[in-house]
Each structure stands twice: as C-alpha cells, then as structure tokens.
Structure 1
C-alpha cells in the first residue's frame, strides 16, 4: 500500500451511509494484500507484547455490522498473531436473565480490557441503540423503572441512552482504555450473496438462521439507526471508522492498519526499564546458570 490515511475512514463529521462506498481499491493485488496483512498483524502482535509489559493502557476493539458483514473472520485473521493471554473476544448476544437484572451497560463494563490487554467486542454496547431501536419492545424486558409501556421508548429515551453511552466511553477513555469502533459497511447485494453461500455450502449451514431473512427485510431501518448512532457517538476519544467490507481481505487490512498506526502514536508505550540492581547483576545471573 503506497499510501494509507486512516482518516479516510474516520468519522469526524455527520455522514450519510447511503453515500459511503462499501468497496475500496487499495491499489494492490490479492496476494499483496494478504502479505501486507501478515506483516501488520505480526507487528501488532509484537506491539501487544510491549503493551502487556507496559501495563498502562487497555485496548477496546468494537465491531459492528449487519449480519454476514465479516466480523468473525476479521477477528480470526487480524488477531491470530496475538499472545492468547493478551486478547479476549466477547460476543454479546441476547441478554441473559442475570444481565437483565443489571443496567444494560453492566455486561459490557465487566468485559472491558485489563491494562495491557485487548478486548474485542463482537457486537457491542451499540446493540442497545440498534436492535432495540428497531425492535423497541425489547426494552420492556430490561425492567427500567421509568419505562412502563412502549410509549415511554421515545425520542427522549434514545437521547438519554446516547448520552449514557458517550459518558461511558469518555470515562473509560480517561482511565486508560484506547477505543476503536469499526462499522463493517457491507452492501445489501453482498449480504445476499453471503447468505446464499451459507445455504449453498453444507459446512456453512450452521451459520444460517431464518431470523437473518427477517432482519434483512428491515435493512433500511437498521441503516437509519446505524447512521444515527455513528453520528451521535463518534468522538475524538472514541471515533467510529466506516470500513468498506464488500471485500473481506481489504476490510481486514484496513482495520489492522488503523489499529497499528493509531497505537504507534502513543510514544509512551515502551517496554518497562529493568531494575537497576538486576541490570548490574545480569552477568552474575548468567554465570550462576551456566555453572549448574
């Protein structure tokens, strides 16, 4: 990639998703893209080791997108060179009974990364302003005191929820969590092709659910909700990136490069200095081991 500007994909002003391309030409062959991804993810793995030793920052990777946008395969391909002790993937599905006994951010809060580690949210706290906004009746299951009927799930309710999410992200950012939010922007036609592939390939059948088609019928509503969520919550400390995702290898490389290039800007992330006393006695320790 001769030139890569992460700001090409960064949301710094209100966007209209209909006008954002779902494909992007990196000017490289498939082989070159694959090779560069291998290099970037290896560099990311080394940087993660340094961050683990440094122990000052945690990294939160948020992945959102329509069904079949490529979240699972992106996680597999971008983070495969990480030390397993330094990265945890959380896939948030329908809230459990225990989770519903807490506020909606609780299950996300307890999954935040420790300092020195990465947490990947495969679907995120934004489901609480996406799927629940498309299906507002789900909110009734949260047993919120101020919500007694579907009429209470109104514009004021969503405005407060966006404010809560912004406050949540600002708080964790100010306390050492570096936040990346990626919207994997896939076209409706490409989603159709991927869903058909799930049906055509026996080994992919398990991924298909009839609910995929039900939600696909609500495509326009989801796009409206995604657009609103992105525009209201893309902040300097927690920016959204819209990633063209009709081609999975391209999307993976773009995400990997954005993460790596951003983390390299944190010049304070360095391996911890060795204790002076240990440093002075390194040769003594070597001699002791060799004399065994």
Structure 2
C-alpha cells in the first residue's frame, strides 16, 4: 500500500547531480533512435500517463524528456475540464479516442485519472461512482495492453507542498512563467491532504499496471527517472527494423 508521506520527494543524497544529468542526456539521445524503431516496426505502442499536483513539472518533463524524439511519432494530449460534448458521453469517451496507434508514443498530460481525483476532492462524484470508474479504468488499460500491444507507463510526479508553493509563487514574479499563473492553483493547494488521500486510493485500486512514484522536487532527478523507465521499456521490446517490402 502506497503512503505518499513516507516517500521522499527528493533524490537520494548520495547521487551526483551532474553525473545523473549526463546519464539523462545519453538516455534522451538514445530514445530518439528507439522511438524511430518503434515507429518503423509498428508492432507496439506506448502510452505515458503523467499525473501530479499543480507545478509538479508535467510540462517540463514532456519538453525535456520526450521533446527530442521525432514529432511524427509522439503525440501529447492534455486533458482539462471536460466540454459539454464530452460530459454527454461516458467519462472514458474523450480518452479512448486518443489511445496510441501501433508505432506511436502517446503522452497524457493529466489523464483519465482526473475523473477519480479532482472530481472526488470537490465532491462532484461520489465514492461509489469513483469505485466504478476505477474498475472501468482497469478494464480500459487491460484492453489497450491485451488487444493493441500498448505498453503503459504511469508516472506520479511526487512534489512537496513547500516546493509547490515556491514554484507557484515564481509564476507571479518571473516574466517567463507568468503565463502559467492561475489564481485557482493556490486554492487547490489548500486541499493538499484531500488530494493526497485520493491519490493514494487511486494508486491502491488502479495498480494492475504499477505507478512509478517519481520524486519531483528536483527536475534533474525527475527527468532521469522518466527517461530511464521509457528507455528500459523500449529496449526490452527487442524491436527490429522491417526488411524490404516484397
């Protein structure tokens, strides 16, 4: 059972920052070729789910870990508040249409898990409905993995409330970050304990594909964990370039 308050949000103290950054750079460079191989072979697909509190570094991870790969083979979808059309369907309707095709890497910046997180924190959905949605999520992920050779990596970017406060405050004063400022983020931060409780419930009920709890107070370590996980996944697929078409 995952208890977030017992998991560090920082890198182990014995790690050398510069050495880890060098390793990450090497992994990211190799990911470009592995993604090309994935696209060429077109037997597998990859879904990367990124969840985390506001300012946990989701956008930065997308840019720094996955931004070096060929944009023809990588798609990013950000799920915000559902539209009226989306609300008129089941909650997975808007998600399923973005599932990756064979050969593709699909990144969800926030995901179907929002419908059992923010909705519960704000009492827009009951616990009973949330439990039903968890079962549907497990079935949905099983469907992708079993019938479309989709490999799923689920990252929770584990940031401390102190680091979050600092980053949210930077958005007020840093001209390069002011475009990200949203007054509501500070209100959501006040609900920290409730969010943690809902995240833990999510991890413990939607864990058939395990979550990677990723310490996110230091971007260099967060990016290493994510790059290494994707690199390991793709290497283990033992992919080969197709030969000449007959």
Global fold match (TM > 0.5): yes
The unaligned stretches of length 5 or more in structure 1 are: 1-13, 140-152, 278-292
Q: Deviations over 1:167-209 (max 9, x none)?
A: 0000111021110000000001110111111112122112111
Q: Deviations over 1:252-273 (max 9, x none)?
A: 0111001111221222x21112
**Which among 160, 163, 177 is matched to residue 187 of structure 1?**
160
Looking at structure 1, the residues matched to 66 and 129 of structure 2 have their Cα atoms a distance apart, in angstroms, of: 37
Looking at structure 2, the residues matched to 188 and 249 of structure 1 have their Cα atoms a distance apart, in angstroms, of: 19
RMSD, aligned α-carbons: 1.3
8 Å Cα contact 1:40-1:257 kept in structure 2:
yes
Name 2:130's counterpart in structure 1. Answer: 158
Query: Does residue 178 of structure 1 match 2:178?
Result: no
Name 1:253's counterpart in structure 2. Answer: 224
Looking at structure 2, the residues matched to 170 and 18 of structure 1 have their Cα atoms a distance apart, in angstroms, of: 29
Query: Does residue 270 of structure 1 match 2:245?
Result: no
- Write the mapping of 1:17-96 to structure 2, written as runs, cut at 5 A: 17-25=4-12, 27-96=14-83
Query: Does residue 16 of structure 1 match 2:20?
Result: no
Over 3 Å counting, the alpha-carbon distance change for 1:257 and 1:104 in structure 2 is: same
Say which one has the larger Rg: 1
Looking at structure 1, the residues matched to 226 and 140 of structure 2 have their Cα atoms a distance apart, in angstroms, of: 23
Looking at structure 2, the residues matched to 240 and 123 of structure 1 have their Cα atoms a distance apart, in angstroms, of: 14
- Write the mapping of 1:69-148 to structure 2, written as runs, cut at 5 A: 69-137=56-124, 139=125
Question: How many residues get paired?
Answer: 245
